Amino acid sequence: MSNIRGRFAPTPSGLMHVGNAWAALLAWLQIRSQDGKFVLRMEDIDGPRCRPELAEQALADLRWLGLDWDEGPDTGGPHAPYTQSERISFYEEAIDKLNKSGLLYPCFCSRAELLAVASAPHGLSSEGPSYAGTCRHLTPEERQARQHSKAPSLRFKIDGGRSVIFEDGILGKQQSTPGAGGDFVVRRADGIISYQLAVVMDDAAMRITDVLRGADLLDSTPRQILLYEALGLPVPRFAHVPLLMGEDGKRLAKRHGDTSLSGLKAAGVKPERIVGWLAYLAGQVERYEPLAANELIRSFDPIRIPKEPITIHDGLMKQLFN
């Protein structure tokens, strides 16, 4: 039996759409083609944005698409729970460990101050505004004084000159300096754990060996690698697939029409049409034709996945309905 383990981890803050299906299908094929175990995890850590009914809908949509999983919130498994909101104690343990190692510090910067930085030239990346380290060097007395008026977030200290290098399974060798974006938040001022820390802890606990996800998260990878190392955890292999884009050059979304799986299903589109269409976009088949997900397993080859964003023009979308 293969030791390969992968996952798909949707956030139930909206309906599943073809962009989600694109990442889910390719992550599933990557693991199934290697006879590995596939995990479904629900990333609902941002409680105010997430809804249980959308989590249930996501599971139903993925099953309708023809995907299955060996472990998940509805099936259980040896590394349960598979829902982030039930894993808070694990994240707090990690924060305690990082704190004792001297790698965290409280940040009292207000949203307005951070937005001011964001509006400055070169202040933004896909990871958000660079942080200038304003609170990193506060004295204990200054921290205590500020704590009376504002609850702090917690930031992870980055060695500014440190370069992180990793081999991406689709994009090849990647090298970046995470410190260019400044120290990053691992727990917000409202107590919500950051995506960066939660995903590292979950993937390690669930023994994930391979992470395939959208290229919008490529900038997150160096920061996550730093967290893996700081916590003494094994680093998985990463592969980032290109995003599906509208003709306006923006990520495919509601503004480009109803691309939700439930909407397509209601319009009479069969799941095989969506799977075959996505397989064609991913270079896995030479021409578009309806296909079941399990028909793609034996021939799946990540080398054929495009490296650049894919523009979904009207003609491509119409293929789903013809």
Question: Is 188 flagged in the annotation as binding?
Answer: no
Cβ neighbours around 272 below 10 Å, total: 16
pTM: 0.92
Question: Is 60 flagged in the annotation as binding?
Answer: no
What value does the mean pLDDT take over residues 210-223? 96
User: For 89-119, what is each residue's pLDDT tens digit?
Assistant: 999 999 999 999 999 999 999 877 776 655 5
- Residues 57 and 16 sit within 8 Å (Cβ to Cβ): yes
CATH superfamily of 88-197: Glutamyl-tRNA Synthetase; Domain 3 (3.90.800.10)
Model confidence band, residue 46 (pLDDT cutoffs 50, 70, 90): confident
Question: Is 213 flagged in the annotation as binding?
Answer: yes
Question: Is 11 flagged in the annotation as binding?
Answer: yes
Model confidence band, residue 253 (pLDDT cutoffs 50, 70, 90): low
Q: Which residues of 22-40 are buried (b: 16+ CB within 10 A; e: fewer)?
A: bbbbbbbbbbbbbebbbbb
* Per-domain boundaries in the chain: 5-77+242-318, 88-197
Catalytic residue among 150, 250, 254, 307: 254
Report whether CATH 3.40.50.300 matches the domain 5-77+242-318: no
Q: How far apart (Å, rounded) are the C-alpha atoms in residues 169 and 222?
A: 15
Task: Tell me whether residue 173 is one of the annotated catalytic residues.
Answer: no
Question: Is 75 flagged in the annotation as binding?
Answer: no
82: tokens are: 């598979």
User: For 151-202, what is each residue's pLDDT tens digit?
Assistant: 999 999 998 788 999 999 999 999 998 888 889 999 999 999 999 999 999 9
